[in-house]
Structure 1
């Protein structure tokens, strides 16, 4: 069935919304995770991590703001993907949206750990009974808890990309290379983060999987976002 002008307009609006949100999310993730969070975790021990956070609380607050922006963008993308991919398969598109919303809920839960770190690093009066060594250990523990909980969420996110990749292939309109990247990225996310959670002693394997799947994990959804901005909704999907 040929889509109406109103349906095409709705598709284009959803495509533009998803594309913009994905670009904003990518920039926020580069800052919050790639720049700020990794610099704190690279300190090596609880004492150095604690010193890094307490001496850069403004930067740490900026990281939290970045994660909040990511969380909001994920909700927007879940809606926009559903609208855009609904003509391909309504029920599968809805399932994909629920997977992304489930991932977003896990990310939100993980962010609570960063709020606790912010409180611990503030040396508020009610923490006076906790010695410095304990505070350092707690800060490091909550930062690691954030990473592990987020890692669990990224397994769910891999399931979301699997559904989006299948729908991309079924659409006949979205370039096949994007579908391939999305499907490969879904396998990468699930493999890397299953290893991260359940095989923590095999750090070398996790790093190897990260290297192998790095390009599709980065290019899959980002490439889809660029295509959505340029071509998405200009005709039936």
Structure 2
């Protein structure tokens, strides 16, 4: 005969993963969304350059936030794989490699922030350019950073889609949550590809933007579900004779 037991280590790992998810969401919301929106005016090179100089500490915070996010992403990727690999190992391998690829691209994308930072900290590096040229150069790298975000979001879309599939098919997780994550993965992929191809905003892009709301909801739902309920798979263990 066999008995069923709930491994406590898995339950604890689920709570750590949920906490990391929330920390990444908060820090990423600040460094990826809020701070750039406050500093960068994508149709005004002069104002963007002036904002970076006047609010240098805020720009530094954005860089620090990006670094923190990519480090936390590495730990979260390992935890999610350990938690869900028994449900569908192939899908979780794809999800894990995709999320690690995302973190690598995030790290490379930091270069597009470091060049504007160098232009501000070491003005002599831009001495060959006049003011207008320097401001335009600064904005080019800020825009490149934004396109870098769309590049890593494609890999996040693959991760979210595969993770959503695993959650949907697992008997221990909410199936509807998995379905919403699947839709969220499609939304991230579609939105990112449209931006990278520089396709003008239209009905399709607006549709993907609306679906991204579902993606955000699913991520917070997943984080709180891990924190509150954990993830405890019933695993058969042979009874002692």
1:221 aligns with 2:206: no
Instruction: Report the counterpart of residue 165 of structure 2 in structure 1.
Output: 166
Equivalents in 1 of 2:193, 2:65: separation in Å? Answer: 25
Deviations 1:38-62 (A, max 9, x none): 1223363111111111111110000
Deviations 1:17-76 (A, max 9, x none): 210111001111221122211122336311111111111111000011111111112111
The Cα shift of 1:86 comes to 1.2
The Cα shift of 1:227 comes to 0.3
Structure 1 pair 25–2 and aligned structure 2 pair: CA distance change class (3 A): farther
1:39 aligns with 2:41: no
Equivalents in 1 of 2:116, 2:171: separation in Å? Answer: 47
Structure 1, unaligned runs of 5 or more? none
Structure 1 pair 105–2 and aligned structure 2 pair: CA distance change class (3 A): farther
Instruction: Report the counterpart of residue 8 of structure 2 in structure 1.
Output: 9
Q: Residues 78-97 of structure 1 correspond to what in structure 2 (within 5 A)?
A: 78-97=77-96
Equivalents in 2 of 1:100, 1:2: separation in Å? Answer: 35
Structure 2, unaligned runs of 5 or more? 236-241
Structure 1 pair 186–52 and aligned structure 2 pair: CA distance change class (3 A): same
Instruction: Report the counterpart of residue 25 of structure 1 in structure 2.
Output: 24
The Cα shift of 1:156 comes to 1.3
The structure carrying a bigger helix percent of its residues is 1
**Alignment equivalent of 1:231, drawn from 219, 229, 232:** 229
Instruction: Report the counterpart of residue 186 of structure 2 in structure 1.
Output: 187
Equivalents in 2 of 1:187, 1:33: separation in Å? Answer: 21
Aligned residues: 234
1:204 aligns with 2:202: yes
Instruction: Report the counterpart of residue 131 of structure 1 in structure 2.
Output: 130
The Cα shift of 1:205 comes to 4.2
The two structures have a TM-score, normalised by structure 1, of 0.91
The two structures have a TM-score, normalised by structure 2, of 0.90
Equivalents in 2 of 1:210, 1:58: separation in Å? Answer: 34
Deviations 1:57-99 (A, max 9, x none): 1100001111111111211111111011012122321221111
Alpha carbons 2:18, 2:226 under 8 Å: kept: yes
Instruction: Report the counterpart of residue 105 of structure 1 in structure 2.
Output: 104
Alpha carbons 2:194, 2:205 under 8 Å: kept: no
The Cα shift of 1:177 comes to 1.9
The Cα shift of 1:11 comes to 1.4
Structure 1 pair 121–93 and aligned structure 2 pair: CA distance change class (3 A): same
Query: Where has structure 1 moved over 6 Å in runs of 4 or more?
Result: none
Instruction: Report the counterpart of residue 70 of structure 1 in structure 2.
Output: 69
Instruction: Report the counterpart of residue 59 of structure 1 in structure 2.
Output: 58
Equivalents in 2 of 1:78, 1:161: separation in Å? Answer: 12
Structure 1 pair 2–166 and aligned structure 2 pair: CA distance change class (3 A): farther
Structure 1 pair 223–120 and aligned structure 2 pair: CA distance change class (3 A): same
Higher alpha-carbon deviation: 208-217 or 130-139: 208-217
